């Protein structure tokens, strides 16, 4: 159950991942659960918000760009990314952005 993430004062980074799923689970649910812990233990991880209806939006928050790059290269995450491209997602977009202010 997703909540509104508690993040520090800007600047920090947000990775906006928007996706459209293929039909069927194909191990997707198991993978998302398996990814939560290593992601949240990454240095620089600040929080995550995730919602899915017809499309899914997952926004993860990070202290800096280097932490995002490190998570992108994580071994387990690389396997999940490959499965995502090949099996789980019909279409997706990843946007890396710098949060300049919030209220």
Among candidates 78, 80, 60, which has minimal Cα distance to 68?
60
Shortest distance, CB of residue 47 to a second copy, whole angstroms?
10
Long-range Cβ contacts of 32-38 (<8 Å, 24+ apart): 34/76, 35/76, 35/77, 35/80, 38/74, 38/76, 38/77
Point out which span in 7-15, 27-35, 37-45, 73-81 binds a second copy (CB under 8 A).
7-15
Measure the CA–CA gap between 90 and 103, rounded to whole angstroms: 34
- Residue selected from 8, 9, 18, 27 as contacting a second copy according to rule CB under 8 A: 18
Q: Is 82 in the site for a second copy (CB under 8 A)?
A: no
Measure the CA–CA gap between 68 and 16, rounded to whole angstroms: 12
- Residue selected from 16, 36, 78, 79 as contacting a second copy according to rule CB under 8 A: 16
Interface positions, 27-66, toward a second copy (CB under 8 A)? 49, 51-57, 59, 65
Binding site for a second copy (CB under 8 A): 1-5, 7, 10, 13-14, 16, 18-20, 49, 51-57, 59, 65, 91-103
């Amino acid at each position: 159950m997703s909540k509104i993430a508690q993040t520090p004062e800007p600047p920090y980074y947000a990775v906006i991942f928007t996706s459209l799923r293929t039909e069927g689970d194909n191990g997707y649910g198991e993978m998302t659960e398996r990814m939560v812990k290593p992601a949240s233990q990454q240095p620089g991880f600040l929080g995550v918000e995730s919602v899915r209806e017809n499309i899914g939006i997952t926004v993860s928050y990070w202290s800096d760009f280097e932490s995002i790059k490190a998570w992108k290269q994580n071994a387990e995450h690389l396997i999940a990314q490959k499965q995502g491209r090949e099996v789980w997602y019909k279409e997706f977009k990843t946007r890396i952005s710098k949060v300049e202010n919030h209220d």
